[in-house]
Amino acid sequence: MDELMYGVVNASDPADHVKAVQIFEQLKNSPNGWIDCVGIIRSRRFADCCQIIFFNLQVIEHHVKTRYAVSTAQEQEVIRSFLRDWPKIQAQHDGSPPESYVSNKVAQISALVYVQDYPTRWPKYFDDLIAICDNCGTFLNHFLLVLLAIDGEIADRDIPRSAQELQRNTLIKDTMREKVVIQLVEFWYKILTLFNGRSSRTTKLCLEVIGKYIQWIDINLVANDRFVPVLVTNLCNQETREAAADCITEVISKGMDPIDKTKLVESFARVLAEAGVWVAFVQDQDEDYLCKLGKLYCVMGTNLIESYWKFSKSHPAQKVELKVVLDAIETKIPLLLQILGHECDDVSATVLDFVRDYLHLVKSFRDLSEANLKDFKASLLDVVIRKLRFDSSYDFNHEGEDEACFLEYRKQLKIIFDNLGLLDKNYLVSEVQKRLHYTSQTWNMLSFDEVEVSLLLFYYLGETVPTTMSGQWSAAEGQLNPIQQMMVQVMNSDMYMCQHSAVVLQYFETIIRYEKFFVCHPEYIVKGLSAFLKEKGLFHTDLKVRSRCCYLFSRFIKCIRTGITTDLMKSIIDAIQPLLAIQTISADRKETLISRDDQLYLYEVIGVLIVSGESESQKKTELMTDIVNLVLYPCRLGMEQLKTIKDPSQHDPVVEVLLQAIALTGRLSKAFSSQQTMKSLGCVPIFLEALSVFLQLLEAPVDESFMVQLQSSVRQYLHRLVVCLEEELLPYIPLASQALLKNCDCKSIQEYIPLINQVITKFKLSWIFQKEVVPFLKQMFTPMVQGVFAALQVPIEQNDLQAQRERQLLRRQYFQFIAAIVTNNVTDVLSAQDPNVLNEVMMTVIQGSVDFPDPVAQKACFSILKKLVDLWAGPEGPDGFMDFMYKNIVPACFMAPLKLSFDINDAQTLIALNEVANCLKSVLIKRKEEFIAFMITYLPTLKISPETTQEFVNALQSDNKNFRQYLKVA
In the chain, domain spans: 561-729, 834-969
Q: How confident is the model at residue 522 (pLDDT cuts 50, 70, 90)?
A: very high
pLDDT digits (tens, 9 = 90+) for 222-273: 999 999 999 999 999 999 999 999 999 999 999 999 999 999 999 999 999 9
pLDDT digits (tens, 9 = 90+) for 56-115: 899 999 999 999 999 999 999 999 999 988 888 877 655 566 788 999 999 999 999 999
Q: Distance from CA of residue 911 to its chain's centroid?
A: 26
Q: How confident is the model at residue 341 (pLDDT cuts 50, 70, 90)?
A: very high
Residue of 835 and 132 predicted with greater confidence = 835
Residue of 781 and 135 predicted with greater confidence = 781
Share of the chain above pLDDT 90, in %: 66
Structure-derived torsion over alpha carbons of residues 327, 328, 329, 334, reported in degrees to the nearest 10: 90
**pLDDT given for residue 197 in this prediction:** 62
For helices 258-274 and 319-330, the axis angle rounded to 10 degrees is 30
pLDDT digits (tens, 9 = 90+) for 836-864: 999 999 999 999 999 888 999 999 999 99
Q: Is the pLDDT of residue 478 over 50?
A: yes
Least confident of 321-330, 477-486, 600-609, 618-627: 477-486
User: Which amino acid is it at 918?
Assistant: N
Q: How confident is the model at residue 893 (pLDDT cuts 50, 70, 90)?
A: very high
pLDDT digits (tens, 9 = 90+) for 410-430: 999 999 999 999 999 999 999
Residues 351, 354, 356, 362, CA torsion sign: negative
**pLDDT given for residue 588 in this prediction:** 47
Please check whether residue 638 is in contact with residue 618, taking contact to mean a CB–CB distance below 8 angstroms: no
Residues 287, 289, 295, 298, CA torsion sign: negative
**pLDDT given for residue 427 in this prediction:** 93
Helices (H), 669-795: 684-697, 704-724, 733-740, 746-763, 767-768, 774-792
pLDDT digits (tens, 9 = 90+) for 937-966: 999 998 889 999 999 999 999 998 999 998
User: Which amino acid is it at 321?
Assistant: E
What pTM was estimated for this model as a whole?
0.84
Is residue 706 helix, strand or coil? Answer: helix
Least confident of 197-211, 319-333, 445-459, 789-803: 789-803
Q: Is the pLDDT of residue 8 over 60?
A: no
Structure-derived torsion over alpha carbons of residues 762, 765, 770, 775, reported in degrees to the nearest 10: 50
Q: Distance from CA of residue 26 to its chain's centroid?
A: 42
Residue-level length of the chain? 970
Q: Is the pLDDT of residue 599 over 50?
A: yes
Mean pLDDT to the nearest integer, 297-308: 96
Please check whether residue 298 is in contact with residue 351, taking contact to mean a CB–CB distance below 8 angstroms: yes
Round the average pLDDT of the chain to a whole number and report it.
90
**pLDDT given for residue 901 in this prediction:** 87
Q: Among 911, 809, 788, which residue's Cα sits nearest to residue 852? A: 809
pLDDT digits (tens, 9 = 90+) for 681-705: 999 999 999 999 999 999 888 888 8
Q: How confident is the model at residue 169 (pLDDT cuts 50, 70, 90)?
A: very high
Mean pLDDT to the nearest integer, 514-533: 93
Q: Among 772, 708, 776, 704, which residue's Cα sits nearest to residue 740? A: 708
Mean pLDDT to the nearest integer, 334-359: 96
Residues 590 and 702: their CA atoms lie apart, in Å, by: 27
Please check whether residue 873 is in contact with residue 926, taking contact to mean a CB–CB distance below 8 angstroms: yes
Mean pLDDT to the nearest integer, 783-803: 85
